[in-house]
Amino acid sequence: MFFIKLKVKGYLKNLTENTEDLIDTKAIKNSNIISYIIDDTKYKIIIDKNKITLLRENNEFTHGMLFEENKTNKSEYYLKESNYSLEFNILTEKLIIDKNKIDITYKIIESNNIYNYVLESSDNL
């Protein structure tokens, strides 16, 4: 087992509200898993052939999302302090998995908000 250090850039755009969070950090890749940290939140992306699992965690919450193109999956957002879970339904409208790029467009059914998550990795550091 070995780790590869990568530079990752990208963004999470809320297409409905026209907001954008930029991603520009270092990551570690271990076979099909990419991990990085932004603002004390850990991100773990598990890449399968035609699906992606995105796990986010910090001191306040854990959130797991599964993306499969043209499918709706349940997503759990767990608030640690109040010991409370919220469940969302996520419809993956587009899922592109390339060697160095992930591009996901998805919709949160309950809010009708549409997001575009793009992550590109550059060569080893």
Under the banding of pLDDT at 50, 70 and 90, the label for residue 122 is: confident
Under the banding of pLDDT at 50, 70 and 90, the label for residue 124 is: low
pTM of the model as a whole: 0.91
CA–CA separation, 66 and 77 (whole Å) = 12
Structure tokens at 26: 């270092």
**Model pLDDT, residue 108:** 97
pLDDT at 26 over 70: yes
Show Cβ contacts of residue 19 under 8 Å, excluding neighbours closer than 6 positions.
13
